[in-house]
A and B are shown apart, each in its own frame.
Chain A
Amino acid sequence: MKHHIYILILCLGALLGCRDPFEPPAIRDFDELIVIDANVNGTTGQSSVVLSISKALNSEDATAYISGADVYLQSAGGAVYDLPYQGNGTYGANNVYLDYGDKIKLHVVTSENGRYESEYEEFIETPEIDSVTFDADSEGVQFYVSTHNTDNSSLYYKWEYFETWVFRSAFDSNYIYDTYPNGNLILSSIRKRNALQIDSMRFCFRDNISTKILLGTSENLSENIISENELFYSSHAQGRFKYRYSVLVKQNALTKRAFDYWSILGSNTEDVGSIFDKQPSNFESNIVNANNADEAVLGYFSVFSETEKRIFIDPSEIPEHETSETLGDLCNPEVLRKWEPDIGYSPLSAEINGRYIVIEFADEASVSSAKCCDCRLTGYKEVPDFWEE
């Protein structure tokens, strides 16, 4: 909605308003802050805590992880679960089975003797997802989620989604261009690919996972119902809905505290850019430094149960739309001459640059990039376990 206000205003501003990239003035004086991304699924027992160090805004470095810490969970009842180090800053276990209503607390003691503790978090039950529905238009598909609960034990919800779809290479590469040395010469040959090989390069799977924080609440409704809450919008780009598409939606019920944390984190980075923006603000984590309450601790300790729902979409369910089957302009094939007899020179060998031959003519060959011809370079062949044809 806000985004629309912004667009509208730009239009009224004689279509001249604009946004430009903004590099903040070098903010060098920031403290490197500890990041604790802690998640406990009390149903499956899977729990993981990733410890890392925050980065400068313009940093492209790999995340610096913290190893050598002592990480454990402690339930209100006194049970202790150790989370041994598993590499890449991750501390985990898979035996943290909880009962609804259990309260549990996170302890992190770093090798530098920083002591971090969370508040007690309650393990609450997540209701089943009633349905994942969608609405398709010429640009893409809008997904919605619906759920309900018979009581008000969970009024706040968070979702994640995992998309998987079948896509086809832009072109079949029917020929192989080979080069091989022969003495001081490099010889080349063009030969036909076999059908099996062409087939294996034609259809693949591709995945995409949600990065946005997706939240919803029935707080202001008289019943605990989430009705067709807007979840996400996927455009037809990349041929998502051309063959077969599936999405898995995962749902967590949240406490009010967690909901507030995620919604502020989200609004700080996602729900911005209109002229009526709210002030960004930091919302305190449920984890604090036990020795220094003033230290800002990033991240959140989430204890959750999860329900999920998967749907499949066939192209027949999507109305007619225009989608380029190719990967945009990148797949525009180029026609190269195979041989220039007058100069004794092969433009093909000089200019093919690793591209694949799509089709061959007497003097010419049409080439396109490998990615456009071999789906395995951008996707994968193995049929996922959940896949239903």
Chain B
Amino acid sequence: MKFFRHLLVLFCCTMLIGKAWPQVNAEKLTIDADDLPWQQVAEILQKQTSSRLYYKLEDFDTIRFSIHKSNVSLKTILDELFQNTDLQYTTYQDNSIFITRNQAIRASLPIGFFSSGIVEKSEDDEIPEFMLNMAASSTEGNLESRLLTIGRGNGNGTNGEAKISGYIKDVATGEPMIGALIYKENPRVGVATNQLGFYTLTLPKGRHELFIQSVGMRDTKRQVLLLSDGKLDIELREDIIPLREIIIESERDENINSLNMGVEKLDIRTLKQIPTAFGETDVLKVALTLPGVQSVGESTTGLNVRGGSTDQNLILYNEATIYNPSHLFGFFSAFNPDVLKSVEIYKSGIPANYGGRLSSVLEIATKDGNKKKFSGSGGIGSLTTRLAFEAPIIKEKLSVTLSGRTTYSDWLLRYVPDDAIKNSQASFYDLTAHINYNINEQNSIDLTGYYSDDRFKLNSDTSYNYQNRALAFKWKHMLNDKFFSVLTSSYSGYKYDIYSSQNPVNAFDLKYNIDQLNTKLDFNYFPNETHDVDFGISSIYYKVLPGSFLPRGFESLVIPIDNEEEQGLESGIYVGDRIMVGSKLSVYLGLRYSMFNALGPREIYSYADGFPKEESTIIDTTYYGSGPYHTYHGPEYRASLRYLLGENASLKFSYNKMRQYIHMLSNTTSISPTDTWKLSDPNIKPQIGNQYSIGLYKNFRSSAVETSVEAYYKDSRNTLDYKGGANLIANEIIETDVVPTEGMAYGVEFLIKKMKGKINGWVSYTYSRSFLRTASDHPSETINNGEYYPSNFDKPHDFTLVGNYKFSRRFNIGLNATYSTGRPVTLPLTKFDLREAERLHYSNRNQYRIPDYFRIDLSINIEGNHKVKKIAHGSWTFAVYNLTGRRNAYSVYFVAEDGFINGYQLSIFGSPIPTVTYNFSF
């Protein structure tokens, strides 16, 4: 082997020097050999030719050669020598001759390995070991083209299969790439990395070209020669905006091949390109640009996913549930963009490991933290300031990330020339701390802490304060190459506190609090390439203080209402399997069985059968002691199917059944700080929903352009709507103010996406409808006579364009255009005089619409100079939100003024809003 190493080094050097070789065909050689071992024969030949002979001595172990030739070409000699042996040779560029046993070298060598040209073709797909362990080169191109040997050759030759396993990481930070794809083509075999960034891929022994993709990272590939089980770690580079994009021509892409449908994954770089109202990257606002994701209006972060209500989204921040994802009435989302890594939203095809919400799962992941060097980032914007640090505590092993964000809106308010505003306050901050510890290759631990706080006070009267708290612990453990487990324990809390003390007699203190403790254990078992099994259990314990309304101060006469706390236990067990059925068909079958135990102690009212639930129809009060007193349970079926249609297209189906045991009580159209969450109990049944979807996916131009059409139909029941004039605050008998409704939603989403090249972005159009219908027979519990009525977020037409143009590495322009049908509203139909004033009689619920919505935003990003080794990078973002200054109606309303009715439309942003943000990282 030593000899070969020398040879190879030489070979490489010569390659690198790029020295021209003389024409060898003209060379005439003479040889006289009698029963000589190959080594001597080779020496004789090598002396007479400028060509290099490459071989493995072992291959010639027992063979001895006899040959007598003069003035003939090398080819003639070799042909004769190897006649009747299993030795073969391949010449390359007329100056290198590879001699191998059993098979000729595959001549079509990896791109870039040699300058160009192929001498001889071979049907074989194998290459011998000697080409391995090439001198390392730092460029990606070389990594991609260099052939890597996996394992060791042995007598078994190339029969059978072997496993490649390893970690895929970010080269800059050492962060494991979760869900990165590694696959080969023809036939396609691939896997995704697990939570540790680890993968195992079983392939036939021999030579393979492996493609590696991960969101936000530059696609890459590796040439491997698989001899036996072995390791291959891969480091990916961030997809920094190159001037000339190198498109890795992977034949088919994630969107075509994966079983996922209705899933969008956006990385922080994509998020950053999209202009927002206050110049700050906002996960939830970007989610709103995706097809099928809508909101009721401008200043809300409440997402309506495919016609579902805002409480039907499971928002996970590093696995911890976040109940109120907004700051400052919804102008900002509660997540600091500096520490975000990616956001993934499941609109359909939700796998069995998720449960608890009907419509979607929004998984927000933070960066693991830089394990190589201390780094940081931050930004100064027109309303907020933020800062984040990432520090390796133990190099390559343990890193800590800290971030904070706050606003100076309080300070700004003081300068508003209006007394009411001057006396108002509004502020928020949020903090994230994250520790990531890669104990060893089998174990990794994450600990995330999150805290957000909002407070505002209006005209020195009522003070509002709300907080999200979350703590998540995650232990990823690899049992073996095929078996992986993740243990997650998290705590989430949300509370608000509203008080007023202006009038001592009515001074009150209104509080709400929800805490949840969540533990789950997930396993991933990967027996072979045809199966990928997930299974696990989870349990969530909820404790809700549904609202206490207490006197504040000695003089207050407010009757203390201290609603009994609610407790519940939501448990789930699931199993799911991704099965490759042949080369075209792949299916996912999953089953989740969920159960909810309402836990005592608690008092529950019973209502007369056949009567509407009203205070007057309470017939009994039952007191339950500690422990479960009411149980709901049921299966949740999950299934997906993918069928490949040729190289660049696929057809997918999915079916989901979901159950939701916790309900948001909100009587307003947008998310408001006084929204509360209520657990299911004997009077409030769990929400149950089904979704059927079908999608067609096709990629063009080597997957540079992805297109898809997805259609869905959803139904749901036991979702809550409210009686007119419902009181939801600290209401002890909430069931008398809500009405269970049945929902129906359907839609078609068209998406064209181009994420590569100078111009990138996506265009989507969605046609969707969303309806509700009250299920009760009692007039007092029906809305619109029990007919279907459009939900608050039924916006049939929705068009979005998100575009980005890179002028140069340092300069890019983002454009965002949105059009949607105005949301439904209830309008007055007629006016009448009552007690000498005009009054209004309203239409049935949501029978009319506010004017259509249209907005264009523009942003310009200017990066500082692009030296990779600079100490700190700065960038400026200049953005204009609502460029056309269109006064989009947020709502319309009618008001009696001096006894007359006047109609108004309220716009939140009535003119262009320019912002400047400075971002930096070091």
A residues near B (Cβ < 8 Å) are 1, 4-25, 27, 30-33, 35, 37, 39, 50, 52, 54-57, 59, 63, 160, 209, 211-212, 220-223, 225, 227-228, 260, 263-265, 267-270, 272-273, 275-283, 296, 298-300
Interchain CB contact (< 8 A) of B910 among A18, A27, A277, A283: A18
Interchain CB contact (< 8 A) of A54 among B413, B792, B832, B892: B832
Interchain CB contact (< 8 A) of A52 among B331, B669, B832: B832
Given A27-B827, A222-B557, the answer on whether A275 and B329 have CB atoms closer than 8 Å is yes
CB-CB under 8 A from A263, the residues of chain B are 725
Interchain CB contact (< 8 A) of A20 among B724, B842, B896, B904: B904
CB-CB under 8 A from B413, the residues of chain A are 8, 11
Interchain CB contact (< 8 A) of A279 among B329, B383, B667, B833: B667
Asked if B831 is an interface residue, CB under 8 A from chain A, the answer is: yes
Please tell me if the beta carbons of A52 and B725 are within 8 angstroms of each other in the complex.
no
Please tell me if the beta carbons of A264 and B827 are within 8 angstroms of each other in the complex.
no
Please tell me if the beta carbons of A22 and B892 are within 8 angstroms of each other in the complex.
yes
A263 to B911, alpha carbons, bound, how many Å?
35
Please tell me if the beta carbons of B833 and A278 are within 8 angstroms of each other in the complex.
no
Interface string of B481-503 (1 = CB under 8 A from A): 00000000000000000000001
Given A7-B418, A22-B903, the answer on whether A55 and B725 have CB atoms closer than 8 Å is no
Please tell me if the beta carbons of B559 and A8 are within 8 angstroms of each other in the complex.
no
Which of B364-372, B581-589, B637-645, B883-891 is near enough to bind chain A?
B883-891
Please tell me if the beta carbons of A227 and B506 are within 8 angstroms of each other in the complex.
yes
Q: Pull 9 A–B residue pairs with CB atoms less than 8 Å apart, ordered by A.
A: A1-B462, A8-B413, A12-B409, A19-B905, A32-B830, A54-B832, A227-B506, A264-B725, A298-B834
A210 nearest in chain B by CB position: B837
A63 to B833, alpha carbons, bound, how many Å?
8
Interchain CB contact (< 8 A) of A24 among B383, B426, B887, B903: B903
Beyond A27-B827, A35-B834, A222-B557, 11 additional contacts (C-beta under 8 Å) are A1-B461, A13-B331, A16-B913, A20-B887, A21-B905, A33-B830, A63-B833, A269-B894, A270-B896, A282-B841, A300-B834
Within 8 A of A (CB), among B664-681: 667-670, 672, 674
Asked if B839 is an interface residue, CB under 8 A from chain A, the answer is: yes
A263 to B839, alpha carbons, bound, how many Å?
12
A60 nearest in chain B by CB position: B900
B672 nearest in chain A by CB position: A276
Closest 9 interchain pairs by CB?
Answer: A281-B724, A227-B505, A18-B910, A22-B905, A211-B899, A272-B893, A4-B458, A211-B837, A54-B830
Given A24-B903, A211-B896, A275-B329, the answer on whether A11 and B416 have CB atoms closer than 8 Å is yes
Q: How far is the CB of B150 from chain A (nearest CB, A)?
A: 58
Asked if B908 is an interface residue, CB under 8 A from chain A, the answer is: yes
A89 nearest in chain B by CB position: B833
CB-CB under 8 A from A260, the residues of chain B are 725
Asked if B776 is an interface residue, CB under 8 A from chain A, the answer is: no
Please tell me if the beta carbons of A280 and B826 are within 8 angstroms of each other in the complex.
yes
Interchain CB contact (< 8 A) of A269 among B667, B827, B889, B896: B896
Please tell me if the beta carbons of B841 and A13 are within 8 angstroms of each other in the complex.
no
CB-CB under 8 A from B459, the residues of chain A are 1, 4
CB-CB under 8 A from A20, the residues of chain B are 887, 904-905, 907
A211 to B838, alpha carbons, bound, how many Å?
9
B830 nearest in chain A by CB position: A54
A300 nearest in chain B by CB position: B834
Q: How far is the CB of B412 from chain A (nearest CB, A)?
A: 8
Asked if B445 is an interface residue, CB under 8 A from chain A, the answer is: no
Interface size class of B (residues with CB under 8 A): 35 or more
Q: How far is the CB of B500 from chain A (nearest CB, A)?
A: 9
CB-CB under 8 A from B416, the residues of chain A are 11, 15
A27 to B832, alpha carbons, bound, how many Å?
15
CB-CB under 8 A from A1, the residues of chain B are 458-459, 461-462
CB-CB under 8 A from B826, the residues of chain A are 279-281
Q: How far is the CB of A131 from chain B (nearest CB, A)?
A: 13
Given A14-B913, A269-B840, the answer on whether A57 and B557 have CB atoms closer than 8 Å is no
CB-CB under 8 A from A59, the residues of chain B are 831
Q: How far is the CB of B245 from chain A (nearest CB, A)?
A: 37
CB-CB under 8 A from B462, the residues of chain A are 1
Please tell me if the beta carbons of B669 and A267 are within 8 angstroms of each other in the complex.
no
Asked if B44 is an interface residue, CB under 8 A from chain A, the answer is: no
A25 to B852, alpha carbons, bound, how many Å?
13
Please tell me if the beta carbons of B910 and A272 are within 8 angstroms of each other in the complex.
no
Please tell me if the beta carbons of B670 and A220 are within 8 angstroms of each other in the complex.
no
Please tell me if the beta carbons of A19 and B829 are within 8 angstroms of each other in the complex.
no
A54 to B830, alpha carbons, bound, how many Å?
6
Interchain CB contact (< 8 A) of A35 among B299, B300, B833, B842: B833
Please tell me if the beta carbons of A269 and B834 are within 8 angstroms of each other in the complex.
no
CB-CB under 8 A from A63, the residues of chain B are 833
CB-CB under 8 A from B409, the residues of chain A are 12
Please tell me if the beta carbons of A13 and B908 are within 8 angstroms of each other in the complex.
yes
Q: How far is the CB of A48 from chain B (nearest CB, A)?
A: 11
B299 nearest in chain A by CB position: A275
Q: How far is the CB of B39 from chain A (nearest CB, A)?
A: 84
A221 to B461, alpha carbons, bound, how many Å?
20
Asked if B64 is an interface residue, CB under 8 A from chain A, the answer is: no
Given A24-B892, A269-B901, A296-B841, the answer on whether A19 and B836 have CB atoms closer than 8 Å is no
Asked if B848 is an interface residue, CB under 8 A from chain A, the answer is: yes
Please tell me if the beta carbons of A22 and B830 are within 8 angstroms of each other in the complex.
no
CB-CB under 8 A from A269, the residues of chain B are 839-840, 894-896, 901
CB-CB under 8 A from B827, the residues of chain A are 24, 27
Within 8 A of A (CB), among B651-707: 667-670, 672, 674
Please tell me if the beta carbons of B670 and A17 are within 8 angstroms of each other in the complex.
no
CB-CB under 8 A from A6, the residues of chain B are 906
Which of the listed residues B549, B843, B913 has the most CB atoms from chain A within 10 Å of its own CB? B843
CB-CB under 8 A from A52, the residues of chain B are 832-833
A296 to B561, alpha carbons, bound, how many Å?
37
Please tell me if the beta carbons of A283 and B725 are within 8 angstroms of each other in the complex.
yes
Please tell me if the beta carbons of A298 and B331 are within 8 angstroms of each other in the complex.
no
Please tell me if the beta carbons of A5 and B329 are within 8 angstroms of each other in the complex.
yes
Given A212-B896, A278-B667, the answer on whether A22 and B904 have CB atoms closer than 8 Å is yes
Please tell me if the beta carbons of B834 and A37 are within 8 angstroms of each other in the complex.
yes
CB-CB under 8 A from A265, the residues of chain B are 834, 839
B330 nearest in chain A by CB position: A275
CB-CB under 8 A from B412, the residues of chain A are 12
A59 to B828, alpha carbons, bound, how many Å?
13
Please tell me if the beta carbons of A21 and B902 are within 8 angstroms of each other in the complex.
yes
Please tell me if the beta carbons of B331 and A268 are within 8 angstroms of each other in the complex.
no
A31 to B503, alpha carbons, bound, how many Å?
45
Q: How far is the CB of A41 from chain B (nearest CB, A)?
A: 13
Please tell me if the beta carbons of B331 and A12 are within 8 angstroms of each other in the complex.
yes
A272 to B904, alpha carbons, bound, how many Å?
10
Asked if B558 is an interface residue, CB under 8 A from chain A, the answer is: yes
Please tell me if the beta carbons of B903 and A21 are within 8 angstroms of each other in the complex.
yes
Q: How far is the CB of B629 from chain A (nearest CB, A)?
A: 29
Given A211-B837, A227-B557, the answer on whether A18 and B907 have CB atoms closer than 8 Å is yes
A23 to B850, alpha carbons, bound, how many Å?
11
Please tell me if the beta carbons of B424 and A4 are within 8 angstroms of each other in the complex.
yes
Within 8 A of A (CB), among B811-848: 826-837, 839-843, 845, 848
CB-CB under 8 A from B674, the residues of chain A are 276
Please tell me if the beta carbons of A264 and B895 are within 8 angstroms of each other in the complex.
no
Q: How far is the CB of A276 from chain B (nearest CB, A)?
A: 4
Asked if B456 is an interface residue, CB under 8 A from chain A, the answer is: yes
Q: How far is the CB of B687 from chain A (nearest CB, A)?
A: 20
A35 to B830, alpha carbons, bound, how many Å?
11
CB-CB under 8 A from B909, the residues of chain A are 13-14, 16-17
Please tell me if the beta carbons of B895 and A278 are within 8 angstroms of each other in the complex.
no
B413 nearest in chain A by CB position: A11
A288 to B840, alpha carbons, bound, how many Å?
18
CB-CB under 8 A from A228, the residues of chain B are 503, 505
Q: How far is the CB of A242 from chain B (nearest CB, A)?
A: 21
Q: How far is the CB of A250 from chain B (nearest CB, A)?
A: 11
Please tell me if the beta carbons of B904 and A8 are within 8 angstroms of each other in the complex.
no
CB-CB under 8 A from B890, the residues of chain A are 275
Q: How far is the CB of B563 from chain A (nearest CB, A)?
A: 13
